[in-house]
Amino acid sequence: MTTIAVVTTSIVVLLVAVAIYTDVRWGKIFNYLTGPAIVLGLVINSLSGIDGFLRSIQGIGLALGLFLISSLLGRILGGGDIKLLIAIGALQGPLFLAWTICGTAIIGGILGVIIALRHGILVEKLKTLFATCYMRVTFQVPMEMEDNKATEPRLPYAIAIGLGAIATIARLQLHIL
């Protein structure tokens, strides 16, 4: 790995560790964490020339595309989650981010099922999901994501994003998975 790759990978590990902590502790991923990481990704990758800068921009673009899809389907990801993905994209580029998104979706699904099983609400949530998808496809009704923060179990999604990023580091950079 190049020096730039080692630095950006180290920043991603630190970034997701702090994001997981803040999301679990306060239910937020703060802008003062993601904003500087986005700028650092652009600056550090620019040190390798225009290709590095463009890779950062492409990573940001992919994350913004995910935000657009998320917005069109309803509020699936929170703003902090999207900004964390933007920062990861700025630091590592679109290929790394695409793998991270795939890993995040798988890990997030597994964690969601575990939490739903633990709280005895899996069947209820699956019925709601299928009904919402049916309404969306059949009648083009926007998906409604309920905000029952006080009554429903919560999944700090930074956990899934962080584990997805770590799995991607293991797969793409360390060649472990």
Q: How far is CA 133 from CA 49, 126, 147, in A?
A: 45, 10, 18
| CA–CA distances in Å: residue 18 to residues 5, 12, 57, 156, 162 | 20, 10, 23, 13, 10
| pLDDT exceeds 60 at position 75 | yes
- pLDDT over threshold 70, residue 144: no
Q: Which amino acid is at 116?
A: A
In the block, residue with structure tokens 């964490």:
33
Alpha-carbon distance of 128 to 94, in angstroms, equals: 33
User: Average per-residue pLDDT in the chain?
Assistant: 90
Amino acid code (one letter) for 19: A
pLDDT band per the 50, 70, 90 thresholds, residue 135: confident
Domain range enclosing 63: 3-173
Number of domains observed in the structure of the chain: 1
Instruction: Give the per-residue pLDDT at 146.
Output: 56
Q: How confident is the model at residue 148 (pLDDT cuts 50, 70, 90)?
A: low
In this structure, what are the phi and psi dihedrals at residue 151, rounded to the nearest 5 degrees? Answer: -110, -20
Percent of the chain predicted with pLDDT > 70 = 93
